[in-house]
Every structure is written in C-alpha cells, then in structure tokens.
Structure 1
Amino acid sequence: MARQATPYHQIRALYDDDSITVYQAYNSHIAKEAVKQQTLRVPGWSCERMTWIKPSWTWMMYRSGFSYKDENQSHILAIRMTHENFESILERSSISHSSFTGQKAPVRVQWDPERTPTTRGKLPYRSIQIGIGRAVAEMWAKDMILSIEDVTETARRMHADVESGMSQEELAEKYIHERIYEIKSEEVRRIIQLDAVAADTGEGPSTDA
C-alpha cells in the first residue's frame, strides 16, 4: 500500500515566529465584548464547561456552518497565543478516545477527519481539536491570549464562494493559509499521538465536539 502523503495526525495552523492562531465560535454578545476588551473573560463566557479550540480554519467552518449553524456560533473569533502557551496546553492533555480509566487530564485532544475546502467531504487524515477543561480554561482566557479578532465576514465570504461553485483548489488558495506546525517535544508528540497512523490509533467514532 502506498504511503499516505499527509500524515494521519498532523497539526496545520496559521502561525508566525511569535504566535499561533486558533479558532472558536461564539454568540454575538460574547464575541463583540471579547474583541472590544481583548479577553474572553466577558459576561456570558464561562470556564465551567470545556472550551474547544481549533487550529484548522476548514474544520472551524465545518463545525460552525460558516457561522450560520446557530446563534451560539454566529461569530468566528481568531485567537492568537504564543507557541509556548499552545504547547504547554498540549502537555496537560490526554486523548479523548483513550482507554485510560484513571484521573483524566485537564485538557483533551481529539483528532477528527479534516474536511475539504467546501467542508462537504472528509479527507483521509485528521485535524486536531483541543478541549480546555475548567482547571485550565480560566488561566488560558486570562493569561494566554495575545489578541482576538472577529473573522466572521471572511467565513461568510468563503461560504458565498462555496455556494457559487468555486473549486476546492481556488477556495484553498484564497482562504486556507495554514502550514504544518511542528512539535519538537517528544513528550508532547507522545501525549497527543502525533505520530500515530490510522491502523494503530484505536480511535472510536468522532464526537465532533
């Protein structure tokens, strides 16, 4: 069998020398206040439940329906954080489908099928989602965010282009500017199963959290 060109688990993200961008979707009130105050610690936001961040733009578009899915996902936020903080969160994680039955880590990593640029098809490799639990969420929201930008209009322009029949290649060139994000720490790679292949992950069905 020919080796798959894209590794089964691979982090693809928009990043520069100083930061990495992750995405979340919120309702209008939370999103507007978060952008205005440049923090997620605004009225309506809660650290009581797990909050999921996604480096993949396409996966965010799929989960939020390009911001049209429902009122609670009507605004897409691009959240920048340092590489150090991003990887420190991964250090505190465990895999969602792990069979481990002891005390769970405060952060959960989930690998879900990446989507095509139209979001209508699944690709044969996975995209990472990171669920930040209560024990870490407040610190993340307070101390780990560099900036917050509302990118809803970009999401909606992409949706319009999808509906107009723009090709997968054109969509990717216009909207997806991610690169492979390398994790050098062998311990982090082990924790998040970055080097796993499809046959040995033992993953169950995606929960699409």
Structure 2
Amino acid sequence: MKLYLTPGACSLSPHIALREAGLKFDFEQVDLATKLTKSGADYRKVNPKGAVPALQLDNGQILTEGPAVVQYIADQKPDSKLAPAAGSFDRYRLQEWLNYTASELHKRFGQLFNPAITEDQKKATIAGIGTELDYVNKSLGSKQYLLGDTFTVADGYLFVVLSWTKYFGIDLGRWSGLKAFSDRIAARPSVKAAMQAEGLS
C-alpha cells in the first residue's frame, strides 16, 4: 500500500492508523498548492479531488476520504481493535465520531486555513470551534478514548484535528479532558513514529 500525505494535514490520521495496525506501506508527500507529489508527478492523476489522504492499494485501486481510509485500514487487521466489528452498534458509534470530527471540527478548522478569511469570520469560527470542543470534552468525560478504554481510528483523527489548535492561538488547556486526551495520544509509539516520519517532531 502507498499513502499520499501532506505533513501535519488530516492524512496524518491514516498514517497513524497504518502504524498502529502494523501494516507494510510506503508514503509520498503531496504539495497541496501545486498538486505535485514529491517525485514531481501530477497528484490529480492519483486523486482527481486533489486532496489528501489517498491510499493506493496493492491491486491498484485508490481509496480517498479519511474516515473511509482509516476504517479500511482497521479492517485489514481486526485484531488491532482499531475499529469495532462491522455491523456492531459500537461500529456505528465509531462512524458517528468520525463523521462529527469530519463534518464539524475538521470543516471549521478548514475555514481558518483559508488566507482570505476576515478577522470577524476568524473570531466567529474560533467561537464555533470552542462550542464543539465543549461538547467533545463533555462527551469524553473520564474515558481514556472516545469509545471507552480502547484506542480506535476515531481517536487518531480527533488527535490530528486537535493538533491544529496551536496554529490559531486556541489554548487546548481550556478543556482539561481534551488536553489529557491529546497528550495521551501523542505519547503512543505509532503517533511518535508517524510525526517523526512527517518531520513534525
């Protein structure tokens, strides 16, 4: 398998999942501005959407969209418990968290990365993120991870999105549960390895 990624972007989530699962893979960096891979190839021939991540399977198929990619990875190694069994209610809980992270948190942070955003828009967006983090912090409660005591791909995705708070002056310490959660994930060997490989640590 080959993962196309951009350092620190949402593609860090499947990168972590691949390492957690212990699967063999290669990766190639993508410049999202030029849509070129590090080797100089046109990334749009891999993913016409021009976004990361994209996972190229050994049979040549390309899978895109982070929540789909991480569930595929988890299902390749069921013993890793990166995702509950397909069809179980806990699997739908996992999808609930993946979808919330993607459609609410990730989408809002995406607005902040837009250089054309005005100061008023930025303030409103950060306020909205704060409300959503209030909800996630309360939902997490005393649990170690989103689904309980077991790390899943939903935790990896949330960790990546939370890591973007530092770029916009959002103090994660305001949510003690989320700060402890983020620190807990950051200490995992797979996360350290993925971040080091992407030049983030």
Shorter-chain TM-score above 0.5: no
Task: Return the TM-score normalized by structure 1.
Answer: 0.24
Q: Which has the higher helix share?
A: 2
Task: Return the TM-score normalized by structure 2.
Answer: 0.25
Larger RCO: 1 or 2 (CA < 8 Å, sep 6+): 1
Q: Which has the higher strand share?
A: 1
